[in-house]
Structure 1
Amino acid sequence: MKKFETEMLNLTYECLTRYWQKDYKFVISYCAKEVIWCGARQDEFMLSREVVEDDFRTNAKEIPPCHLLNAEFLAKSNASLCVITGNYRVVTDESADFFLQAQQRCTFVWEKTKEGPKICHMHISNPIGELKIVKEEAFPNTIGKMAHRYLINEIHRRTDSGRVSACIENGSLAFFEISKILFVSALGKECVIQTTSGEKFVKNSISDLQKQVGDNLIAIHRSYLVNPEFIRSIQRYQITLVDGTELPVPQRKYNELRQKLMKLYTIEED
């Protein structure tokens, strides 16, 4: 990936992250004067930075703080433009008064200028039928199929009693809740289990742990098992977890892993 593409990819991710944390001014600071904005709401087709800023200001008053999960971005560029396309989930923060979640796609077109990179086009959409946003709403107030599935999965994850047992350094047996494991990494013939509360060295092999966890953790590499619920993004050739940890994905496994994650978060019609 070219340096310009990498920079614009990271900047796009930051723009989206900060927008959903209600910091709309960060995005506006990168908008060209005649930026085109096509949003998910019915009336969001706007052709100037001033009008877009007014729209974002209104939205910031209504939307709850949210974060992105399972984000994937691709970049294409020429001498003066870089197009970033993305696919991700927006999930309300735990501090929000209610729970909602939605799948979104985006396109950002960045242009090189004397003042630095500027956004000349932004387009964000939701899959057909996933969210019902009426003209007056800045954020959906009904729960869609994907949000419903995510909610059920979250309840299951938080109440699941599934555990994995492992022998720790002093020779005693320890139990780990699978729902709280971020990832497992091989360390020679032993392993490190990284949980939401810290890491623990265990004497079990990664193949032994993989047999215990079954499909609850995904093997992204012969040395790593990852909990898909904690994957924040995937790109060639690595994944990033919600805590910022970056783990490698072998080139030969990238497409397989990508398809597996897409299938995991795809809603099948009844």
Structure 2
Amino acid sequence: MSVKLDTLSMEIVRNYYEGDCSLFFEYLYSDVVILSVGKGQLMRGKAAVMEGFSGKMQNGIVYDLIALSSESYPLKRDSCNVLIQMDLVSYFPNGMITRVNQRISVDWRYEKEEIKECGKVSSGWKMHFIHISVALQTKEKPLNINHLSEQLLYETTGMYQSETKEVFRDTTGKSHYISTSQLVRIEANRAYSYLILRDEKSIKVAKNITAIEKEYKLNFIRTHSSHLVNPYYIMELKNYRVVLIDGTVLPVSRTRFKEAKMQLDDQRCGTGPIQTAQIEHIQGGF
């Protein structure tokens, strides 16, 4: 197989999410079928696909691909299946951010097609069937926050935070100097609280969560009676739950949801205490 279809498939996906559909359109079979997620996401025929996907390029959503990979599975001499996997981060115009594990299965076949305009026969690899799916949520954390640079964290959340350090004493009396940007969240445990750090370590302190909220000016969001969350690490806040960058899902109480949403919006619009900045937009998206 002279063409490395796994490499080509990744290039098509990468170009698409950067706003360039030309390679994607070039390798579509004339009678291609695409099955995607969502209502009405069954398309048949190259013309219909080109029309449908061209419209999606104007939706204003920004995309980031994380851990893009592919594997090819040759079926016969003239056919091959390629499985593409990635974590897809979507930045919506309204400020919402989502992250899903997307999987794309592409059925490639070596074809000879007659070009009607000139009567010539063109041969080469074409995409016959494309299935786009979203993996079910698992308990695995898709991202280790500690491995991210400050710049990548900023690019993911759109926020910078002060490195001012606060002093916390654990239950043994030992003092810990912790900067706000290193503290992901605080979780209540009756009269005690656990500080969950960016490196996934936790520190047990002899103060309840309400006392910490009043004593320290952390500008964290109280999403629940048991949770204080650093907005710096929030990926998504909706449906009475908050999803963090590392995949952690926490409940948001109904009585706190509206206020939490307003706080997060303020932080990301630059009106809150955390400075924000614009993220350059790349047009497009499946």
So what's the TM-score if we normalise by structure 1? 0.47
Greater relative contact order (Cα < 8 A, sep 6+): 2
So what's the TM-score if we normalise by structure 2? 0.45
Of Structure 1 and Structure 2, the greater helix share is in 1
Of Structure 1 and Structure 2, the greater strand share is in 2
Larger of the two Rg values belongs to structure: 2
